[in-house]
């Protein structure tokens, strides 16, 4: 069984500061990893994904994440945040097996960017 742990439920930062949102996963098979963002009263928007290849993945809105297999981590980073980045961020894992692409999500990290 897969599981995802997002180590921080809330992360407050000031505008233009760097931020890292932490994600650890547990899986017995090879995984695909995702970060989604959810703005208030909206659905989920894909930020970035790791399927294979380079362990550093770049996404939309200046976000990037690094896949670390030995530490089973997939932390999300942004060098300089904006007020508009305030949202809930979810890390998710899929085992990519067969045609059943179930996503297992963490509980989310609320990023609050203050002026």
Partner 1 sequence: ETGVTQSPTHLIKTRGQQVTLRCSSQSGHNTVSWYQQALGQGPQFIFQYYREEENGRGNFPPRFSGLQFPNYSSELNVNALELDDSALYLCASSFVPRGTDTQYFGPGTRLTVL
Residues that bind partner 1 (CB under 8 A): 4, 32, 34, 36, 42-46, 49, 51, 90, 92, 94, 96, 99-108
Take residue 31 and report the two structure tokens written for it: 């995984």
4 close to 91: Cβ distance less than 8 angstroms:
yes
- Residue 53: which residues within 8 A CB-CB, separation 6 or more? none
DSSP, res 28: S
CB 96 to partner 1: min, Å:
5
The smaller minimum CB distance to partner 1, of residues 9 and 84, is found at: 9
The smaller minimum CB distance to partner 1, of residues 34 and 74, is found at: 34
Based on its alpha-carbon atoms, the radius of gyration of the chain, rounded to whole angstroms, reads 14
CB 26 to partner 1: min, Å:
15
Take residue 115 and report the two structure tokens written for it: 């002026």
CB 32 to partner 1: min, Å:
4
């Amino acid at each position: 069984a897969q599981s995802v742990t997002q180590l921080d439920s809330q992360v407050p930062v000031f505008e233009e500061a760097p931020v890292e949102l932490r994600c650890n996963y547990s899986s017995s098979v090879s995984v695909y990893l995702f970060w989604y963002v959810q703005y208030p009263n909206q659905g989920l928007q894909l930020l970035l994904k790791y399927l294979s290849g380079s362990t550093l993945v770049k996404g939309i809105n200046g976000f990037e994440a690094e896949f670390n297999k030995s530490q089973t981590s997939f932390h999300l980073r942004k060098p300089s945040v904006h007020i508009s980045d305030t949202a809930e961020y979810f890390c998710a894992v899929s085992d990519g097996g067969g045609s059943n692409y179930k996503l297992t999500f963490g509980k989310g990290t609320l990023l609050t960017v203050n002026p």
